[in-house]
Amino acid sequence: MKKEIKNFLVCSYEFVSSLVFCLPRHKLFNVIKSNYLRVQGAQVGKNITFYPGIKINPCMNLKLGNGVDLAWGVIITTGGGVEIGDRVLVGYGTLISSANHVIPPYPEQIFYAGHKSEKVIIEEDVWIGGNCVITAGVRIGEGSVVAAGSVVTKDVAPFTIVGGVPAKIIKQRA
């Protein structure tokens, strides 16, 4: 019986979250979305733009600075904590994951190996292009640019442009 109740609550939470985050990016709806996150323990700054179709789960361990822009289809998992600084642009379809599966030694089974959680920090004035993957434990420095389609597996120094799979330095911002 307890398992059925837990499943019902999880499904209900997911349903309500999908309804809230399917709302358009109008200023009034952005306030509703910000307050929805705050009620669940997130720290949310002012003037956040939430495009429709965003998924954030769980909402605790999330800190959004002022003027953050989260485009369509952004997914943020916050099990290890996610901090996004002021004036950050996150492009369409980007995944920011603060947890990942553990790969056990052979012959242990992957399915039961568990997860490893590490905080993701994105400092202020960062632009993350569309369809990027930001992995657990990464820090993206102030003023950096992550090219579209990149997979960031290591820290990015401030004012650096990176791109590729895995992301590598393209150049420093002049």
| 101 a catalytic residue | yes
154, 168 contact by CB (below 8 A) = no
- In angstroms, rounded to a whole number, what is the distance separating the alpha carbons of residues 39 and 20? 13
- In angstroms, rounded to a whole number, what is the distance separating the alpha carbons of residues 166 and 162? 9
Check 46, 101, 115, 171 and give the catalytic one: 101
Amino acid at 68: V
- In angstroms, rounded to a whole number, what is the distance separating the alpha carbons of residues 145 and 152? 11
Task: Please give the full DSSP string across 102-159, using - where no structure is assigned.
Answer: --PPTTS-STTS-EEE--EEE-SS-EE-TT-EE-TT-EE-TT-EE-TT-EE-S-B-TT
Please list, in sequence order, all residues whose beta carbon lies within 8 angstroms of the beta carbon of residue 153, skipping any fewer than 6 positions away: 135, 138, 166, 167
56, 96 contact by CB (below 8 A) = no
Active site residues: 101
